[in-house]
C-alpha cells in the first residue's frame, strides 16, 4: 500500500477543456487594459528547459493542452494553439474547440496566421523572460511587412491566475566527481579558456542542466528532471556567480562549490548583469531576451555564442559512459521482470494504469530508482497512436486482445538516465498491417544501430536512413528519430539529435535514442527505441582506413519476436536481432529472478 501512495506517476487529469473559455475571456480583458491586440503564450520558463514547473505551465493553464511543445497566440477574436504532428490529436482532445483553434505547426507559420488574422496590423505583447532572441528574431522577420509589431510586457497570464503555485524550492545535492569524471574546478577552468580564446570576459548560463553539469550538482525543482532553477555567470578566470535561492543550498553543497563559486539571491541577477564589463557571451537560442535587454540598457557589450556547457556536456566522459552502462543494465533487468509479468497475465485483464504501476514497481525494486525520467507512455489501441500519450483516470482503458501496446518509459538513477520503448502485443496480434508496420519500424531501428558514417556528419544526415523502409510503404512518423540523453540529467538533452532539423555533428561520447515509429490515428501505434552512444568505428578489413564513427548499444531488452514479419527481414537484419538477443541473455540473465530468466530464454530464442 505504501508503494501505491508514494509512486512517482499520478493519473489525475490536470486540466479540463471547460476551464479554457473563461480564462481566455479574462486574458482578453487584460489585452484591452494594456492596449494590445494579442498576447503570445509559449510553453516555456525563464530557463528555456523543455519541462516547466507548475508555476510556469501557463500554456496548460490557459488552454488545457499539456504537451511538452507548443504555443498559443491569443487575439481579441480568436486564439490559435500551435502544435506539431506529435500533439495534434491530443490538443484537440484537451482544448475547447470553440475557443482554441489547433494549428498545424510548423506547416503554418505564426507570421502567416497573424497576417490573416490581423490584416490591418496590430500590436502583440510578449514576456521577454519567456522568449529567446532567436525566437523573437524569427517573429520579427516574418512580420516585417505586415504592420504587426511586438511589445515586451509583464506576463498577462500571471495577472489572471489567482492560485498560481509558488516557484519551486527543491533541495540541491552534490553529484559525485567519480560519476562525472571531472571536478567542477576542472570544468570551470576548461570552459574559461574558451572565453579567453574568444576575447570574452564572461558567459551567461541560464539552462538548468548546463548549470547542474558545470557545477556537479543536481536539483529537484522539476519533476522527472534532476535540475535546480537558477542563473549563472561564468567569468574568464573560472569563477562563477550563481544566482539561486538560499534555501536550496545546504552546507554540504556550499562546501562542495567552494570559494570560486559566489552565491547570490536570484533577484540580484539583473544588477549583476549591469555591472559586467564586456564582451559577454550570450546563447541567442537559450538565453531570455530579458538578459540581452538588461545588458543593452547598461551599455555592456555582448556577443552571440553557444552556451559553453552544451557540447562538453554532450560529449560524455569515460566515467559517465561507464556509469550509464550500469544504469541501463539495471533498468533492463527491471524491464525484463516487468515483461515476464506482463506475458503471464491474461489478455484483457489489464488496464493502461495497471501497466504503468507495475513497471514503476519493478524499477523501484532495484533499490536505486530516484525518479522516473518522464511520465510513462502506455498507449493501447488508438491511444498508442498518440506519440506522447499520458494515461489519466479519464483516458484509462482496458488492453483488449488483438491490440498493440506502446510502452515508453525510463528511470532516473544516480549513475544514469534511461529511456526505452517496446511495442507489445495484447494476446495474439494477427493483423498484417500491424505486423508489417512493426517490421518496417524495426528495420529502421536496426539500420541506425548498425550504421557507420564519416566523422563530421550531423543528425540530419542520418535521419532518413531510419525512415527508408517506411517511406517505401508510404508511411512515416512526425517526430525525430532520436534525441540526446543526459547522465542523471534531462532525458531530452541537446544539442545532439537524429532529426532532419539537426545540424550538430555527432561526436564520440554523445548519447542518443534510436526510436523510429509509425502511428495510425484512431487505430494503433508502434515505436521501438534503444539508446546508443557514439564511438569511433572499428576498422574494416580491406577498407580505406577512413575516420568513421559508429554506435554502441547501451540497453538490452528483448524486442517482441511475435510481431516480426520475418519475411520482410534480410539476412544481416536477422543476424543483428539474434546477436542482440544473445547479448540480452549474456548481460541481463544473472540479474533476474528465476521466473524472469525463463521468460528471457524464450523471448530471445533465435529467429
Give kind and range of the element (H or E) at residue 258. none
The CATH number of the domain covering residues in 12-160 = 3.40.350.10
Which of helix, strand or coil describes residue 75?
A: strand
Q: What is the pLDDT of residues 71-94, one digit of tens each?
A: 999 999 999 999 987 788 889 989
Which of helix, strand or coil describes residue 126?
A: strand
Q: What is the pLDDT of residues 401-423, one digit of tens each?
A: 999 999 999 999 999 999 999 99
- The whole-angstrom separation of Cα 576 and Cα 447 is 10
Spatial neighbors of 93 by CB under 8 A, at least 6 apart, are: none
- The whole-angstrom separation of Cα 465 and Cα 500 is 11
Give kind and range of the element (H or E) at residue 336. helix 318-344
Q: What is the pLDDT of residues 161-202, one digit of tens each?
A: 999 999 999 999 999 999 999 999 999 999 999 999 999 999
> Residue 6: pLDDT band by 50, 70, 90 thresholds?
low
List Cα–Cα distances, 169 to 155, 166, 182, 246, 310, in angstroms: 22, 9, 27, 9, 25
Q: What is the pLDDT of residues 213-272, one digit of tens each?
A: 999 999 999 989 999 999 999 999 999 999 999 999 999 999 999 999 999 999 999 999
Helices 352-364 and 318-344: crossing angle in degrees, nearest 10, is 130
> Residue 2: pLDDT band by 50, 70, 90 thresholds?
very low
Helices 318-344 and 571-588: crossing angle in degrees, nearest 10, is 90
Domain parsing of the chain, residue ranges: 12-160, 173-313, 315-603
The number of residues in the chain equals: 607
- The whole-angstrom separation of Cα 285 and Cα 579 is 42
User: What pLDDT, on a 0 to 100 scale, did the predictor assign at position 122?
Assistant: 94
User: What pLDDT, on a 0 to 100 scale, did the predictor assign at position 1?
Assistant: 26
C-alpha of 95 from chain center: 23
User: What pLDDT, on a 0 to 100 scale, did the predictor assign at position 89?
Assistant: 83
Spatial neighbors of 571 by CB under 8 A, at least 6 apart, are: none
Q: Which of these, 242, 233, 239, lies nearest to 188 by C-alpha position? A: 239
Average pLDDT over every residue of 30-50: 94
pTM value is 0.94
Is-cis flag, bond preceding 34, omega within 30?
no
- The whole-angstrom separation of Cα 57 and Cα 223 is 13
- The whole-angstrom separation of Cα 418 and Cα 532 is 11
Give kind and range of the element (H or E) at residue 89. helix 88-94
Q: Which of these, 250, 251, 237, 248, lies nearest to 185 by C-alpha position? A: 237
Average pLDDT over every residue of 33-39: 97
> Residue 538: is its pLDDT beyond 80?
yes
Q: What is the full DSSP assignment across 462-518?
A: HHHHHHHHHHHTT---SS-SEEE--SSS-SSEEEEEESTT--PBP-TT-EEEE--EE
Q: What is the pLDDT of residues 49-73, one digit of tens each?
A: 788 999 999 999 999 999 888 999 9
Helices 133-142 and 110-117: crossing angle in degrees, nearest 10, is 50
| Fold (topology level) of 315-603 | Creatine Amidinohydrolase (3.90.230)
Q: Domain 173-313: give its CATH superfamily.
A: Creatinase/prolidase N-terminal domain (3.40.350.10)
| Per-residue cell: 70 | 507548443
Instruction: Check if 173-313 and 315-603 are the same fold.
Output: no
> Residue 3: pLDDT band by 50, 70, 90 thresholds?
very low
Spatial neighbors of 322 by CB under 8 A, at least 6 apart, are: none
Q: What is the pLDDT of residues 132-142, one digit of tens each?
A: 999 999 999 99
Determine how many CB atoms are found less than 10 A away from the CB of residue 40.
20
Q: What is the pLDDT of residues 507-525, one digit of tens each?
A: 999 999 999 999 999 999 9
Helices (H), 109-207: 110-117, 133-142, 156-160, 177-180, 184-197
Amino acid at each position: 500500500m505504501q508503494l501505491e501512495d508514494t509512486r512517482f506517476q499520478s493519473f489525475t487529469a490536470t486540466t479540463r477543456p471547460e476551464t479554457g473559455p473563461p480564462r481566455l475571456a479574462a486574458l482578453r480583458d487584460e489585452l484591452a487594459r494594456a492596449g494590445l491586440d494579442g498576447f503570445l503564450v509559449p510553453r516555456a520558463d525563464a530557463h528555456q528547459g523543455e519541462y516547466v514547473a507548475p508555476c510556469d505551465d501557463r500554456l496548460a493553464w490557459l488552454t488545457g493542452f499539456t504537451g511538452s511543445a507548443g504555443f498559443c497566440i491569443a487575439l481579441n477574436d480568436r486564439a490559435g494553439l500551435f502544435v506539431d504532428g506529435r500533439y495534434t490529436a491530443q490538443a484537440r482532445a484537451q482544448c475547447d474547440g470553440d475557443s482554441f483553434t489547433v494549428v498545424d505547426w510548423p506547416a503554418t507559420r505564426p507570421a502567416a496566421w497573424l497576417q490573416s488574422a490581423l490584416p490591418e496590423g496590430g500590436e502583440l505583447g510578449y514576456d521577454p523572460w519567456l522568449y529567446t532572441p532567436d525566437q523573437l528574431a524569427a517573429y520579427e522577420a516574418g512580420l516585417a511587412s505586415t504592420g504587426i509589431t511586438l511589445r515586451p510586457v509583464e506576463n498577462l497570464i500571471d495577472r489572471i491566475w489567482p492560485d498560481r503555485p509558488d516557484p519551486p524550492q527543491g533541495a540541491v545535492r552534490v553529484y559525485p566527481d567519480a560519476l562525472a569524471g571531472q571536478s567542477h574546478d576542472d570544468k570551470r577552468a576548461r570552459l574559461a579558456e574558451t572565453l579567453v580564446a574568444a576575447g570574452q570576459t564572461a558567459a551567461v548560463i541560464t539552462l538548468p542542466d548546463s548549470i547542474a553539469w558545470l557545477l556537479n550538482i543536481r536539483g529537484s525543482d522539476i519533476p522527472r528532471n534532476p535540475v535546480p532553477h537558477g542563473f549563472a555567470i561564468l567569468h574568464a578566470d573560472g569563477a562563477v556567480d550563481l544566482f539561486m535561492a538560499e534555501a536550496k543550498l545546504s552546507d554540504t553543497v556550499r562546501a562542495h562549490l567552494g570559494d570560486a563559486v559566489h552565491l547570490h539571491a536570484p533577484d540580484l541577477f539583473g544588477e549583476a548583469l549591469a555591472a559586467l564589463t564586456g564582451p559577454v557571451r550570450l546563447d541567442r537560442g537559450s538565453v531570455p531576451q530579458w538578459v540581452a535587454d538588461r545588458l543593452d540598457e547598461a551599455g555592456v557589450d555582448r556577443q552571440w555564442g553557444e552556451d559553453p556547457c552544451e557540447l562538453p556536456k554532450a560529449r560524455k566522459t569515460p566515467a559517465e559512459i561507464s556509469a550509464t552502462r550500469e544504469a541501463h543494465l539495471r533498468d533492463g533487468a527491471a524491464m525484463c521482470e516487468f515483461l515476464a509479468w506482463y506475458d503471464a497475465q491474461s489478455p484483457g485483464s489489464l488496464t493502461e494504469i495497471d501497466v504503468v504501476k507495475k513497471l514503476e514497481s519493478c524499477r523501484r525494486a532495484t533499490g536505486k530508482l530516484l525518479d522516473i525520467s518522464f511520465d510513462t507512455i502506455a498507449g493501447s489501441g488508438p491511444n498508442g497512436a498518440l506519440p506522447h500519450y499520458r494515461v489519466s483516470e479519464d483516458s484509462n482503458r482496458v488492453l483488449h486482445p488483438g491490440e498493440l501496446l506502446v510502452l515508453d518509459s525510463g528511470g532516473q538513477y544516480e549513475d544514469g538516465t534511461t529511456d526505452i520503448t517496446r511495442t507489445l502485443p495484447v494476446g495474439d496480434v494477427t493483423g498484417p498491417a500491424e505486423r508489417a508496420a512493426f517490421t518496417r519500424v524495426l528495420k529502421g531501428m536496426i539500420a541506425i544501430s548498425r550504421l557507420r558514417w564519416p566523422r563530421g556528419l550531423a543528425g540530419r544526415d542520418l535521419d532518413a536512413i531510419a525512415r527508408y523502409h517506411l517511406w517505401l510503404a508510404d508511411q512515416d512518423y512526425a517526430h525525430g528519430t532520436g534525441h540526446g540523453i543526459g547522465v542523471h540529467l534531462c532525458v531530452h538533452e541537446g544539442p545532439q539529435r537524429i532529426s532532419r532539423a539537426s545540424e550538430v555533428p555527432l561526436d564520440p561520447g554523445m548519447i542518443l535514442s534510436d526510436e523510429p515509429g509509425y502511428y495510425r490515428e484512431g487505430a494503433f501505434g508502434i515505436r521501438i527505441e534503444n539508446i546508443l552512444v557514439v564511438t569511433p568505428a572499428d576498422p574494416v578489413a580491406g577498407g580505406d582506413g577512413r575516420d568513421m564513427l559508429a554506435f554502441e548499444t547501451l540497453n538490452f531488452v528483448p524486442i517482441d519476436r511475435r510481431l516480426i514479419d520475418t519475411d520482410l527481414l534480410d539476412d544481416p537484419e536477422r543476424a543483428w536481432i539474434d546477436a542482440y538477443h544473445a547479448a540480452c541473455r549474456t548481460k541481463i540473465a544473472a540479474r533476474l529472478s528465476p521466473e524472469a530468466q525463463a521468460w528471457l530464454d524464450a523471448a530471445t530464442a533465435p529467429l
